[in-house]
Amino acid sequence: MKKLFKLLAIICLTTPVVAQNNTPVYLDSSKPIEQRIEDALQRMTLEEKVKLCHAQSKFSSYGVPRLGIPELWMSDGPHGIREEVLWDEWKGAAWTSDSCIAFPALTCLAATWDVDMSALYGKSIGEEARYRGKDVLLGPGVNIYRTPLNGRNFEYMGEDPYLSSRMVVPYIKGVQQNGVAACVKHFALNNQEKYRGHINVEVSDRALYEIYLPAFKAAVMDGGAWSIMGAYNQYKGQHCCHNQYLLNDILKKDWKFDGAVISDWGGVHDTYQAANYGLDLEMGTWTDGLSWGKTDAYSNYYLANPLLEKIKSGEIKEEVVNDKVRRLLRMMFRTSMNTNKPWGSFGTEEHALAGRAIAQNGIVLLKNDKDLLPINPDKTKKIAVIGENAVKIMTLGGGSSSLKVKYEVSPLEGLKNRIGNAAEITYATGYASPLTDKRDPKYVVPEGYKAPDAEKLMKEAIDIAKDADIVLFFGGLNKNENQDSEGTDRLSYNLPYGQDKLITELAKVNKNIAVIIISGNAVAMPWVKEVPSIMEAWFSGTESGNAIASVLVGDVNPSGKLPMTFAVKLEDYPAHLVGEYPGDSINVKYNEGIFVGYRWMDKNKTKTLFPFGHGLSYTKFQYGKATLSAPAMRDGDVLTVSIPVKNIGKVRGKEVVQLYIGDEKCSVERPLKELKGFKKIELAPNEEKVVEFNITLDDLKFYDESVHDWKAEQGKFNVFVGASSTDIRSAVNFTLQ
C-alpha cells in the first residue's frame, strides 16, 4: 500500500500542472516570474536542485533537462566576450566564429567620467554576449584602486567609490537589457593579486562601508545586478565566496539582493560554509582560474554530492538549497529562459566604433607644454614613432580578460591610417619586453628566439629621433606577468624594460617628444620635466590605434580625467606608507582606513605627479563663481550648486566639472573633500553653460561605526568645484542645521 501511495505521490508531483493554455506555469512567460519559480521548484527532485548549484563544465552550470530548463552559460570578461574554451579546460576550442570586438579596459571607461559612455559600453558588450549565447557576463569589476601594484587594476574603475558607483550602473543596465546577467566582481576587498587565493583582509567598518562597498551597493541597488561574483580572498576569516557577513548580512539582507552569488573559479573551500554563508553557484573548483587542477570533478564539488549527503543526513536543511535554486531560477527566467530577450549582434563595426568613442573620451592628456600636441600632419615632415607599445597587441593576455579579437589597430597602424603620406613616419622598437608569459595557452617561444640587444635597440631609436620633427614614444606596461595582469602584481612602480633611461636619452636628442603611456595603472615618471607632452591612453581595445591617432592629430579634443592618483613614488601611496602591502601572506591590514588615493594626498599634503580627476584639453575652460540655492540646509532639503563654465579657447571641447564636499568639523576624522558629483559638458569656443549639482543629506554622511549606520553632523560644509581634485576653481560653504 505504502509503495502505491509513494508512486502516486511521485506521479502527482512530477506531472506538470498545466495552465488553461496547456503550458506549465513555469514555462508560461505570461506568468509572473515569482510564480514560475515556485512552480518549477516544486517539480524538481532534490538531486536536480543540488545540481543547479554547481558547474557542469568550465563555464556552464546545469539546467534541468527533464523539465526543459536550459543550462546556464557564462563568459568572461569585462572588456569583451572571451573565446570559446573546451568543455573542461582553459584552452581555447579554436572556433572560427568567436573573434570579438575588444572594448577599452574599464580604467579607460572610468576615465571618460561619462555615464553615457558607460551605457554605450554595457549595451554593446551585452549585445556581443547575447549573440554568443552567453547568459552571464563575468564582469564588470569594481574593486577599489588601493595600490598601483595590483595587477588587475586595469579591469576596475579607479580609487574613488563615488566615481565607480556612478560609472558601473549604466554598464550593468546596458548588459542586462540584452537578457544577459552582469556578474559584478570581485565581492569584496580583492585589491591585490599577490596571495589573492586566501589573504585575509583586515579593514575598519568605516573604510569597508565608505570606500570598498559603495560600488557594489550601487551595482545592486541602483544597477539591479542579477548576479555578483565572490572574491578569492578572505574577510573576517571566511572566504568571500561563502561569507556570512558580506553575503548574508550585507548583500542579501541589508541590500535585499535577489540575484545569485557565483563563486570565483576555485574560490569555494567548504561545503557547510558554501551552503550556509550565502553562495548560490559553485564554479571552477580545483582551478584558481589560472593553474590546472582536477578535471571532470563536478560531482565532487563542495555543493555537489557532499551537499546532497548532508541534506539526506539532515545536517543541512533542504530549505537552504531551495533558496539557492530560487535565486538561480530567477536569474534563468531573466536570461536563458527569458523569451523576449533581443538577439544581440557580434563583431560589428557599430561595436568597434562604440569602443573607439569610449577610448577617445577616456584618453587623458596629462601634460602639453608649448602646445606640442596636436600634431598638424601638413606641417610635420617627419614623425619618429618609438616603443614596443606602438605595435604590441594588448587585447591578448592579462588573465581571464584576455580576448581573441576580430582585429586590433596598434598605435603605429592608427597613425599610418590617419596620416597616410602627409608626413614620413619612421619606427624603432626602442625597448622590448621578454617573451616570458607562460600562462597564456598561446605562449610559444619562436624557434631560435634571441632576447633583443637593449643597447642596439636604444641606438636605433636615438638615430631616428635625432632628425624627426616630433618623436612619439609609446611605452607603459603590458599584459605580461608582473605587469597589468591577473594572478600577479607589479614588482615596481617604474616603467619596465629600461624605458625611463630611453625616454631621457630621446629627450636629449629631440625636445619635441610626446610620451604616450599604454597602461592600466599609474607609473613613476622620473623624466616628467624632460618631456613637454604626456598622455595616458590606457588599454583601449580593438580600435585603440585609431582612437589614439585621432587625439594626437586633434580630430578629437582629449577630455579624459584620471580615475586614480598618479603619485611621484610608490611610498607616497598610503597602502605603502601606513597600510600593509602585500601583508604577511596570511593577513593584510588596511591601516590607512578611508584615506585612499586623493583622500590621503590631501590629508598628508602630498604633492602628486598628476592628481585624481586631472586631465587637460586642447582648449581652455574658465570657471565662474559657484553659488548656492541657500546658505543652509536641513534634512529633506536639496541644495543646488550652480557654476558657469566657459570655453575660452579656439576649439570645441569637453570638460568634466567636479564637485567635492568637505565636512569642516566632525566628531570623527574625515577627508578634506570627497567627490560627490561630476558632469561632463561640451562647449564650442566662447560658449558658456551653467552647470548645476544637487546636494542632499546623503552626500554629507559618514559611516558611524558606533551605531553601524550612516549619519551627518550639523555644522559647516565646504563645497569645492573644480577641474580636478587639486584644481579647485571655486569654493563656497553652507551650514547643515
Which are the catalytic amino acids? Answer: 264
Burial of 488 (0-12, 13-18, 19+ CB in 10 A): buried
Among 131, 265, 346, 595, binds ligand GLC (CB under 6 A): 265
Helix/strand/coil for 257: coil
Report in angstroms how near the CB of residue 56 gets to ligand GLC at its nearest: 15
Backbone angles phi, psi at 633, to 5 degrees: -145, 155
Residue number closest to ligand GLC, CB atom: 289
Report in angstroms how near the CB of residue 266 gets to ligand GLC at its nearest: 7
Q: Edge to edge, what strands does the sheet with 587-589 contain?
A: 238-239, 234-235, 200-202, 587-589
Helix/strand/coil for 454: helix
Using the minimum distance from each CB to ligand GLC, give the nearer residue, 160 or 264. 264
Among 127, 128, 210, 264, binds ligand GLC (CB under 6 A): 264
What sign results for the dihedral spanned by CA atoms 101, 107, 110, 111? negative
Report in angstroms how near the CB of residue 398 gets to ligand GLC at its nearest: 11
Name which of residues 400 to 429 contact ligand GLC (CB under 6 A). 400
Bridge partner list, 124: none
Using the minimum distance from each CB to ligand GLC, give the nearer residue, 136 or 464. 136
Report in angstroms how near the CB of residue 640 gets to ligand GLC at its nearest: 41
Q: Mask 76-95, x = binds ligand GLC (CB under 6 A)?
A: x-------------------
Name which of residues 383 to 402 contact ligand GLC (CB under 6 A). 400
Among 69, 106, 138, 695, binds ligand GLC (CB under 6 A): 138
Task: Note whether 289 binds ligand GLC by CB under 6 A.
Answer: yes
Write down the residue that cell numbers 615618471 correspond to.
Answer: 525
Using the minimum distance from each CB to ligand GLC, give the nearer residue, 132 or 576. 132
Contact 542, 355 (CB under 8 A): yes
Reference 382, options 415, 414, 409, 411; nearest CA is: 415
Using the minimum distance from each CB to ligand GLC, give the nearer residue, 288 or 469. 288
Report in angstroms how near the CB of residue 265 gets to ligand GLC at its nearest: 4
Bridge partner list, 649: none
- Whole-angstrom CA distances from 22 to 25, 26, 201 are 9, 12, 54
Cell of residue 212, nine digits: 570598498
Task: Note whether 197 binds ligand GLC by CB under 6 A.
Answer: no
Using the minimum distance from each CB to ligand GLC, give the nearer residue, 114 or 264. 264
Using the minimum distance from each CB to ligand GLC, give the nearer residue, 489 or 663. 489
Name which of residues 616 to 675 contact ligand GLC (CB under 6 A). none
Q: Mask 217-256, x = binds ligand GLC (CB under 6 A)?
A: ----------------------------------------
From CA 134, how far away is CA 180, in angstroms rounded?
7
Q: Mask 540-569, x = binds ligand GLC (CB under 6 A)?
A: ------------------------------
Task: Note whether 185 binds ligand GLC by CB under 6 A.
Answer: yes
Write down the residue that cell numbers 563575468 correspond to.
Answer: 138
Using the minimum distance from each CB to ligand GLC, give the nearer residue, 243 or 533. 243
Report in angstroms how near the CB of residue 76 gets to ligand GLC at its nearest: 5
Buried b (16+ CB within 10 A) or exposed e, 671-704: bbbbbbbbbbbebeeeeebebebebebebbebbb
Name which of residues 21 to 80 contact ligand GLC (CB under 6 A). 76
Please calculate the CA angle 562-566-571 and round it to the nearest 5 degrees.
150
Report in angstroms how near the CB of residue 106 gets to ligand GLC at its nearest: 12
Using the minimum distance from each CB to ligand GLC, give the nearer residue, 78 or 597. 78
Q: How crowded is residue 391: how many other Cβ atoms within 10 Å of its Cβ?
A: 15
Antiparallel, parallel or unpaired: β 364-368 and 234-235: unpaired
Using the minimum distance from each CB to ligand GLC, give the nearer residue, 185 or 252. 185
From CA 229, how far away is CA 183, in angstroms rounded?
6
Burial of 112 (0-12, 13-18, 19+ CB in 10 A): buried
Please calculate the CA angle 62-68-71 and round it to the nearest 5 degrees.
25
Contact 587, 202 (CB under 8 A): yes
Name which of residues 683 to 702 contact ligand GLC (CB under 6 A). none
Report in angstroms how near the CB of residue 142 gets to ligand GLC at its nearest: 12
Using the minimum distance from each CB to ligand GLC, give the nearer residue, 44 or 290. 290
Write down the residue that cell numbers 576555485 correspond to.
Answer: 266
Write down the residue that cell numbers 606596461 correspond to.
Answer: 477
Report in angstroms how near the CB of residue 122 gets to ligand GLC at its nearest: 17
* # residues contacting ligand GLC (CB under 6 A): 8
- Whole-angstrom CA distances from 560 to 288, 336, 529, 724 are 35, 37, 22, 11
Report in angstroms how near the CB of residue 58 gets to ligand GLC at its nearest: 8
Name which of residues 333 to 362 contact ligand GLC (CB under 6 A). none
Please give the residue ranges that form the binding site for ligand GLC (CB under 6 A). 76, 138, 185, 264-265, 288-289, 400
